[in-house]
Structure 1
Amino acid sequence: MTSYQKASIPTGVSLAKGRAWKSQCWIIVLAIGLVFAFVMSLATGALSIPFVDVVSLLLSYLGFDDTLSLTTAQVIESIRLPRAVLGLLVGSALAVSGATIQGVFRNPLADPALIGVSGGAALAAVAVVVFGQSFIAYLPPWLQSYALLFAAFIGSLVVTLLVARIATSSLGVSISTLLLAGIAIGIITMSGVGVITYFADDTQLRTLTFWQMGSLGGSTWGIVMAAASLIVPACLLMMRYSSRLNAMLLGEAEAGHLGVDVQSVRFHLISLSAMAVGVAVAVSGMIGFVGLVIPHLVRMTLGPDHRYLLPASALAGALFLLVADMIARTFLAPAEIPIGLVTAIIGGPFFIGLIMYRGQHGAL
């Protein structure tokens, strides 16, 4: 072994440790920021509640005494707390799914909305809302809250597998074909949503109108528990594939040589992503750009190592959605802006800038 090789080994190890330490520090920072944003979301709204009072109520769950009035405690516990928890779940689901899909297809533009996942979930969910209520009424009470979630999951899974099949050839996955097929099928699914909406009654029409723009306003503890029972396992399972996703970044042939069953891993990750996105769309409506913007920013900061990218994306996605929800509730208070409009206003210019940057550097 030459002196250069001997010197390069500790240098490489130290660089790897340095990157790991940087990633861990960023995850801690995101976690602290998320806790602060969570408390702020409970304090923010038409009824302003002091930050200290919110902390006092949260500490009361740990056995400490609190001096809040009954009305204030009810506002937090019945309205704002389930909304904030749902924001955590939806933001994490969209961001982790976005990072996973980008890793599977090895392209940072493979957003769940861009490849039609959200559109498939929306089409199935709207069909159940308009046509499936009589069928849902015959289901056991515990299963009724899951009917819409499972329908959205099936819709998103079918569309995702269809897009992946169109984009896959003997030469591998064509990213340009993937994006074009996703956009085309997304347009078809949203046209289907429009057709089904035409048959909705006045009550359903009002619900669907706000749902299509995205909102956390209809959150209840029942919805939160049903969503958490599917989103949390899906996100945790996606994180368990971190090492195999890292191997797939080298290419399908190289990953296969490392012992990764690429086809099986791809199918499992697409299914888990479809479940997380489908449930998120079912409970919050169409919230775009979270799965594109957040993973890309995290990747720019921490690098492509999915062992840190996925958990950091979960924290950053939850943080981003909580902040967007606070903006939606306070910008035109007491009126509320659909949260999907807020994320689109932020994410749209970022996406355009990303396309321009990648185009100038020959990456598209």
Structure 2
Amino acid sequence: MSAVMPLPPATLPTCASTVHARRGRWLALVLIALALGLFVLGTAVGSSGFENLLPALWNPQGDSAAHAMAQKIVWDIRLPRTLGAWCAGALLGLAGAVAQGLFRNPLADPYLLGSASGASLGVALALALMGGGAGMLGGAQSAITVSVYSSHWLVRLGLTGAAFVGAVLAVLLTLVLARGVQHTLRLLLAGVVVGVVLGALTSLILLLSPDSLQAMQAFLLGSTGFVGWTSCVLMAGVWLLCLVVAWLLARGLDGLALGEATALSLGLRLAPLRAALVAVLALATGTAVAQTGLIAFVGLAAPHLVRAAAPVPHGRLMLLSSLMGGALLAGADLLARGLLAPQELPVGVLTAVLGGGYLLWLMHRRTSPGGLL
């Protein structure tokens, strides 16, 4: 099996590049409008229908208890959850675009390269060393009894920091085992090996620390149910930082897509470029995984959908992939809430089923320029 990244649109004729740029602008507008629509729908989907919440929400002179409850459901639960789902999807979409550009392989995503497994191991270690006390993710994560454990450096570092360190080490280990990024098949195999080994270590830690099993179960299945405003601000800030850095490095990715020899002839310093991109990849993945758990296939599918709709250079590709990833995860979160209401599905399970089906469809199509095989 060979996986070849398409050439960046900057190498195409000017007319084609203009058409692709126009399509990219339209796609950005559509994705922004879709995000706004999902934010509105996010206030309506849940165990209590919006038709029941709306009268109590906009009639404070009536039942004060019902008004307070409706306000809490909308402003303290549903809105931060929807926004958090979008931010986590945007981080994963950006990480997927960076990984595919860095490794010049459309199969690459943060999960296949072992970074998510490393982040999971970091979180499992933090939970185990705190005795399972940090049992909730997202918004509840900030309400952990930090004062009790303030003397421990892992608590000061936080679950996001632990996930970030684990993701960085996992990616570096993958690169060492693959002996660089020259051979994509070796890179993917190394990522699979690292993911399996780190996953086994995570399972071993959970067996030795049974108090962390309940918290880690929600983490492994993926959930946006505990995301609060603090997590939203954190993920939004990290997303903006990673997006700015990735945008500044986009021309380097365009040059790298033409081959290492061409990139070197253009004067690109590949070692610092790769180091910065790996840092962006690990930070984006670690932050999203620490807040929402393991969300599958978003990082892989978002860049593919963008390239299919509007082939653009890496700068615009990473921005559009972020918007696409946010829309995908926010939409999946609404489905997870609404399909079996009042019960909820783990959003990570839903994205795995939908993303796996999309991946099988891509493999069946066997398209040539931007395809998978």
User: Which category of TM-score, normalised to the shorter sequence, fits these structures?
Assistant: 0.7 to 0.9
Residue 250 of structure 2 is matched in structure 1 by 242
Q: Distance in 1 between matches of 2:248 and 2:48?
A: 41
Number of the residue aligned with 1:5: none
Question: Which segments of 5 or more consecutive residues in structure 2 lack a partner in the other structure?
Answer: 1-11, 59-65, 135-145
- TM-aligned CA distance change 1:125 to 1:34, over 3 Å: same
Q: 2:24 is matched by which residue type in structure 1? A: S
Structure 1 180/79 Cα, relative in aligned 2: closer, same or farther at 3 Å?
A: same
Q: Distance in 2 between matches of 1:359 and 1:24?
A: 24
| 1:38 alignment partner in structure 2 | 39
Is 1:123 matched up with 2:124? Answer: no
Conserved 8 A contact 2:107-2:372 = no
Residue of structure 2 aligned with 1:343, choices 327, 351, 355: 351
> More helix per residue: 1 or 2?
1
- 2:192 maps to which residue? 183
| Alpha carbons of structure 1 residues 30 and 317: separation in structure 2 relative to 1, 3 Å | same
1:192 to 191, 194, 201: 201
Distance in 2 of aligned mates of 1:301 and 1:72: 40
The change in CA–CA distance for 1:198 and 1:359 in structure 2 (over 3 A counts) is: farther
Shift of the alpha carbon at 1:291?
Answer: 0.6
1:139-170 deviation line (CA, Å, top 9, x unaligned): 389x957511011001000110111222235x
Identity rate, percent: 31
For structure 1, the residue ranges without an aligned partner over 5 or more in a row are 1-10, 58-67
Equivalent residues of 2:21, 2:312 under 8 A apart: no
Residue matched to 2:70: 72
Question: How many angstroms apart in 2 are the aligned matches of 1:21 and 1:39?
Answer: 28
User: What is the TM-score of this pair, normalised by structure 2?
Assistant: 0.83
TM-score, length of structure 1 as denominator length: 0.85
Mark the CA change 1:173 to 1:53 in structure 2 (over 3 Å): closer, same or farther.
Answer: farther
* Partner residue, 1:3: none
**For residue 176 of structure 2, what is the aligned residue in structure 1?**
165
Deviation for aligned residue 1:30: 1.0
Q: Deviations over 1:181-229 (max 9, x none)?
A: 1111101111111111112344x32121121100011112233333333
Partner in structure 2 of residue 320 of structure 1: 328
> What is the Cα deviation at residue 235 of structure 1?
2.8
- Mapping of residues 19-30 of structure 1, within 5 Å: 19-30=20-31
Residues 336 and 211 (structure 1), Cα distance of their counterparts in 2 relative to 1, 3 Å cut: same
Q: Deviations over 1:26-47 (max 9, x none)?
A: 1111111111111111211111
- The CA deviation at 1:360 is 9.3
For residue 44 of structure 1, give the secondary structure of its aligned residue in structure 2.
Answer: coil
Q: 1:127 to 1:144 in 2, by over 3 A?
A: closer
Q: Pick from 146, 149, 157 the counterpart of residue 160 of structure 2.
A: 149
Query: Could you tell me how far apart the structure 2 residues matched to 1:164 and 1:122 are?
Result: 19
Structure 1, residues 47-74: CA drift from partner, whole Å, max 9, x if none? 11159959x98xxxxxxxxxx9333222
Count of aligned pairs between the two proteins:
339
Q: 2:50 is paired with a residue of what secondary structure? A: coil
Provide the rounded CA distance (Å) in 1 between the counterparts of 2:232 and 2:20: 36
Partner Cα separation in structure 2 for residue 131 and residue 229 of structure 1? 28
Q: 2:106 matched to 1:108?
A: yes
The Cα shift of 1:124 comes to 0.6
Three-state SS of the structure 2 residue aligned to 1:173 is: coil
Residues 358, 264 of structure 1: alpha-carbon distance in 2 compared, 3 angstrom cutoff: farther
Q: Which amino acid aligns with 1:121?
A: A
- Residue 209 of structure 1 is matched in structure 2 by 217
